[in-house]
């Protein structure tokens, strides 16, 4: 795990694919703080571990039944040249609007998976040393089946003038409570808007906005596809970005915008949004998420093409009118030349 200098909150790690299944393993990455009271830089890392030290994982995955308990570990590595007192805390995890993992602030009381985690409040680590911190996860007997994201952080507070800054570094925990798993998505708010081209020989595009919500109780990733159809054919769009592999937490949602090119304005354009979900992380035997398809229609009138057609229809008449006008003018000039004097001519 690499270090970086920051005064912001938790850093995020983008989605990672694995074993043919889009797997998001967002990890809270190391930040750098100014350690009081000296001006020397204090840097540290927090990584998953076993009782002996870092074990190479990037995230902690747990699957437990209600009433069960498990002890995990995180390693806090002090990379500075002085001893540091770190504050250890656990809290609920969530996804930002862009699909990155983050944690609730340390002063917010955990209400879900974070409340099931017990960690020591403080740990003092010598310069250049590593401390293995036990993380005890106790699942309530009546816990709801499904995924309950959480995280554990090691933090350090600094004061700059009148501003107090808390720098948090941590590890994500994917806590899954066994039971009846439900993998389901809902597609809402589908809107389509046509943007035409003033070039009558160029097609326009359809911009489609839609929201995908996780209506189940397990983490999901979604493969989104958009199909537009007119009288002359169909156009497909699939999300080419890494955004499609970022997960959706139970109860969470994300809004997507797709632009489908090659749509000709020939009246109604049918638009269908299809979302193909699959469980995030390790496959869940016997659980299959059904795809959802929602359609809408947008009208696109061929104004540039109609204008071109009108011009083509009127052009012969305009040419004939101009030609007749020129003939009349020439005839008038000849008549005036014939009646006038040589000097006038």
CB count within 10 Å of CB 34 equals 17
Residue 228 is predicted with a pLDDT of 85
- Show the tokens assigned to 47: 């990584």
Answer whether residue 8 shows pLDDT above 50. no
Q: ∠219-285-149 over CA atoms, to 5°?
A: 25
Answer whether residue 75 shows pLDDT above 90. yes
Residue 32 is predicted with a pLDDT of 31
Provide the CA 236 distance to its chain's centre, in angstroms: 21
Q: To the nearest 5 percent, what fractions of the chain are helix, strand and coil?
A: 15, 50, 40
pLDDT above 70 as % of the chain: 79
Mean pLDDT estimate for the chain: 80
Region 212-235: what's the mean pLDDT? 86
The pTM (predicted TM-score) of the whole model is: 0.71
CA distance 186 to 301: 32
Secondary structure (3-state) at 149: strand
- DSSP letters along 18-37, please? ETTEEE----PPP-EEEPSS
CB count within 10 Å of CB 333 equals 10
Residue 288 is predicted with a pLDDT of 84
Per the model's pLDDT, the better-predicted residue between 203 and 227 turns out to be 227
The per-residue pLDDT for range 152-198, each reduced to its tens digit, is 999 998 877 777 788 999 999 999 999 999 999 999 999 999 887 76
User: Binning pLDDT at 50, 70 and 90, where does residue 244 land?
Assistant: low
The DSSP 8-state label assigned to residue 343 in this structure reads T
User: Binning pLDDT at 50, 70 and 90, where does residue 335 land?
Assistant: confident
* CB-CB contact of 183 with 250 (8 Å): no
* CB-CB contact of 16 with 23 (8 Å): yes
* CB-CB contact of 94 with 9 (8 Å): no
Beta-bridge partner residues of 273: 226, 294
Answer whether residue 208 shows pLDDT above 70. yes
Region 293-303: what's the mean pLDDT? 81
Residue 54 is predicted with a pLDDT of 96
- Show the tokens assigned to 172: 């994500």
- Show the tokens assigned to 105: 């602030």
Residue 338 Ramachandran class (φ > 0 left, ψ -120 to 50 alpha, else beta): alpha
Region 201-206: what's the mean pLDDT? 80
Answer whether residue 6 shows pLDDT above 50. no
Region 93-99: what's the mean pLDDT? 84
Nearest of 60, 81, 67, 79 to residue 134 by alpha carbon: 60
CA distance 21 to 272: 24
Region 296-318: what's the mean pLDDT? 71
Least confident of 81-90, 183-192, 200-209, 217-226: 200-209
Nearest of 299, 208, 300 to residue 259 by alpha carbon: 208
Secondary structure (3-state) at 3: coil
Per the model's pLDDT, the better-predicted residue between 244 and 292 turns out to be 292
Residue 99 is predicted with a pLDDT of 78
Nearest of 135, 151, 152, 170 to residue 31 by alpha carbon: 170
- CA distances in angstroms from 299 to 193, 247, 269, listed in the order given: 9, 34, 6
Region 110-137: what's the mean pLDDT? 97
Answer whether residue 136 shows pLDDT above 70. yes
Per the model's pLDDT, the better-predicted residue between 266 and 103 turns out to be 103
User: Binning pLDDT at 50, 70 and 90, where does residue 7 land?
Assistant: very low
* CB-CB contact of 157 with 144 (8 Å): no
User: What phi and psi values does residue 305 have, to the nearest 5 degrees?
Assistant: -65, -40
CA distance 177 to 65: 5
């Amino acid at each position: 795990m690499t270090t970086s200098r920051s005064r912001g909150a938790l850093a995020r790690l983008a989605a990672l694919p694995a074993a043919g299944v889009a797997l998001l393993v967002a990890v809270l990455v190391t930040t750098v703080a100014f350690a009081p009271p000296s001006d020397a830089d204090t840097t540290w890392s927090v990584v998953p571990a076993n009782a002996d030290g870092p074990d190479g994982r990037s995230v902690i995955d747990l699957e437990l039944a209600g009433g069960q308990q498990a002890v995990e570990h995180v390693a806090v590595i002090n990379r500075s040249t002085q001893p540091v007192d770190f504050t250890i805390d656990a809290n609920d995890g969530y996804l930002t609007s862009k699909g990155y993992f983050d944690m609730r602030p340390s002063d917010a009381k955990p209400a879900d998976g974070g409340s099931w985690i017990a960690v020591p409040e403080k740990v003092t680590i010598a310069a250049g040393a590593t401390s293995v911190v036990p993380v005890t996860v106790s699942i309530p007997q009546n816990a709801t089946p499904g995924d309950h994201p959480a995280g554990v952080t090691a933090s350090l507070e600094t004061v700059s003038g009148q501003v107090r800054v808390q720098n948090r570094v941590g590890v994500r925990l994917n806590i899954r409570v066994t039971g009846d798993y439900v993998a389901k998505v809902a597609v809402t708010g589908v809107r389509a808007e046509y943007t035409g081209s003033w070039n009558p020989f160029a097609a326009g595009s359809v911009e489609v906005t839609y929201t995908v919500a996780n209506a189940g109780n397990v983490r999901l990733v979604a493969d989104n596809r958009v199909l537009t159809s007119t009288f002359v054919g169909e156009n497909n769009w699939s999300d080419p970005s890494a955004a499609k592999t970022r997960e959706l937490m139970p109860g969470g949602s994300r809004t997507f915008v797709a632009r489908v090119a090659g749509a000709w304005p020939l009246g109604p354009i049918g638009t269908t949004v299809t979302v193909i979900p699959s469980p995030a992380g390790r496959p869940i035997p016997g659980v299959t998420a059904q795809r959802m398809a929602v359609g809408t229609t947008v009208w696109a009138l061929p104004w540039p093409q109609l204008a071109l057609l009108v011009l083509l229809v009127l052009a012969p008449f305009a040419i004939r009118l101009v030609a007749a006008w020129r003939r009349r003018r020439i005839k008038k000039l000849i008549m005036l030349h014939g009646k006038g004097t040589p000097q006038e001519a």
